[in-house]
Amino acid sequence: MDVFKIEGGHSLSGTVEAGGAKNAALPIFAATLLTGGVCRINGVPDLSDIRFMAKILRYLGARVDQVGPHTWEIEAQEVHHCAPYDLVRQMRASICLLGPVVGRLRRTEVSLPGGCVIGPRPIDLHLKGLSRLGCKVDVRNGYVEVDGSGLCGDYLYLGGRHGSTVTGSANMIMAAVLAPGTTRIESVACEPEVVDLCQMLVKMGAKIHGIGSHYLKIEGVKELHGCEHTVVPDRIEAGTLLLAGAITKSSVTVQNVIPGHMRALLDAMESSGVPFECKPDQRQISVFETRATLKPVEIITLPHPGFPTDLQAQMLALMAVTPGLSFITERVYPNRFMHVPELLRMGAHVSMEGASAVVNGVNRLNGAPVMASDLRASAALVLAGLAAEGTTWIQRIYHLDRGYEELESKLNLLGASVERLPQDALPSDLIEDS
Ligand code: EPU
């Protein structure tokens, strides 16, 4: 297990590039099971979650080859129906195999993925949706068993307590594209990653109308074919890099971004007084050095186009060093505040009121030993470390490696001091008791 050692207080400057979106690439990999043709996927980030997905697809019988640094070829001439616990428990996103395997084979058994540190992550909407599409769905011995012999198009409503579901929408879309008849899905997620999946499916021969809206009409086709597709840029990685610029009050340009996917973050940055410029034609956003004191903000996380929950922790880190009271409310994952106790160790003033964090910004954080608990919480701790006085040690950064390709290299290129070291480089008083 590696750790990060961050020397805070460096100002950043320069240009970095965001990669392809993990949360688009994962369902896109799963979608390749819908055809026996060859799918060539470009812009795939080099991440441990992607390698997990490749491993599962190989287990299910597909040929999965990485043919370039960010290009993969997948050919699933044959597909097995069962994804076992041992593989699935390593990554929650493996639940998005349900839809394509049912579409292709008319049956599947996928293990339930198990607990998650960011809070309960039920899949009732996935199961309800498959039932509406004519499948018999059973949860037995920790597995979702689906008999899809009756799969056929129908109307389904996918809204839940917390809005639409991203991987649930991906599953329903992937099952519906090969279901006989017409499927109408209302309250479908319209995150850019879901849109990207639909665009890839259309290249494969699917008939999907209303892409990008909350209402999709899908006319089932008999079969799909291989295609070539480039994964949409990662708006969360790009947002994290822009917030790295904002928290260090530096000038940073991020390339390979689609500003239209990032309106809620840009709006929050504008309210806070972070100077920035978008160049949509050049797929680029810059934040600029400023001496001005930033202003606190009120943020509520919501499904797209609302403020993304995947940037909540990073925005909270920025507000932790923004004098005044900020209010940050989680509407997607009400318990996703594991970064707060760690930020308190760095001198942040944050109190929790239910699913809201009240952040009383301080002038400066202090470096401290902290523990990463999940992917985005880790990113928030990195940002806090960049802005803090002194040294921050972050343990369990394997969480970060699930979703950020070489974050430390990108930050160091901008002038940060982030070292990846083996666990035994930790000062002895910081080593965890086993
Ligand atoms: N929900 C239900 N029932 C369901 C499904 C979801 O109640 O059947 C609830 C969830 O508990 C949550 C809300 O609906 O409160 C949204 O969950 P959603 O299903 O949209 O989340 P997901 O598809 O499991 C994806 C991303 C997450 C991201 C969320 C929200 C992938 C692989 N994961 O998860 O990404 O936070 O959408 O945008 O796409 C991350 O990248 O760090 C990450 C956690």
pLDDT above 90 for 260: yes
The answer, yes or no, to whether any atom of ligand 1 lies below 6 A from the CB of 160, is yes
pLDDT above 50 for 135: yes
pLDDT at 92: 86
pLDDT above 60 for 346: yes
Q: Both ends of the chain: CA-CA distance in Å?
A: 13
Question: Any idea which of 232-236, 290-294, 326-330 has the lowest mean pLDDT?
Answer: 290-294
Residue 382, helix vs strand vs coil: helix
- The two tokens of residue 31 are 């979608």
Catalytic residue among 39, 82, 96, 116: 116
pLDDT above 90 for 90: no
Question: Any idea which of 79-83, 183-187, 393-397, 426-430 has the lowest mean pLDDT?
Answer: 426-430
The answer, yes or no, to whether any atom of ligand 1 lies below 6 A from the CB of 122, is yes
- DSSP secondary structure string for all residues of 21-74: -HHHHHHHHHHGGG-SSEEEEES----HHHHHHHHHHHHTT-EEEEEETTEEEE
Question: Any idea which of 8-12, 86-90, 171-175, 199-203 has the lowest mean pLDDT?
Answer: 86-90
Strands (E), 98-190: 107-111, 136-140, 143-147, 155-157, 182-186
Distance, CA of 103 to CA of 128 (rounded, Å):
16
Distance, CA of 226 to CA of 201 (rounded, Å):
10
The answer, yes or no, to whether any atom of ligand 1 lies below 6 A from the CB of 167, is yes
pLDDT at 195: 98
| Structural domain 22-230, CATH architecture | Alpha-beta prism (3.65)
Task: Say which residue the tokens 């819908």 belong to.
Answer: 34
**Largest pairwise CA distance in the chain:** 64
pLDDT at 130: 97
Mean pLDDT of the chain: 96
- The two tokens of residue 358 are 């009240």
Question: Any idea which of 15-19, 87-91, 170-174, 258-262 has the lowest mean pLDDT?
Answer: 87-91
Spacing, Cα 168 to ligand 1 middle (Å): 8
Contact of 11 with 198, CB cutoff 8 Å: no
Residue 306, helix vs strand vs coil: coil
pLDDT above 80 for 114: no
Return the exposure string of 372-398: e unless at least 16 CB atoms fall within 10 Å of the residue's CB, then b.
bbbbbbbbbbbbbbbbbeebbbbbbbe
pLDDT digits (tens, 9 = 90+) for 349-368: 999 999 999 999 999 999 99
| 116 catalytic per annotation | yes
Tell me where in the chain the CATH 3.65.10.10 domain(s) lie.
2-19+233-433, 22-230
pLDDT at 434: 42
The answer, yes or no, to whether any atom of ligand 1 lies below 6 A from the CB of 26, is yes
Instruction: Over range 62-78, report the average pLDDT.
Output: 98
Quick one: fold of 2-19+233-433?
UDP-n-acetylglucosamine1-carboxyvinyl-transferase; Chain (3.65.10)
Whose CA is closest to atom 12 on ligand 1?
A: 332
Distance, CA of 301 to CA of 331 (rounded, Å):
5
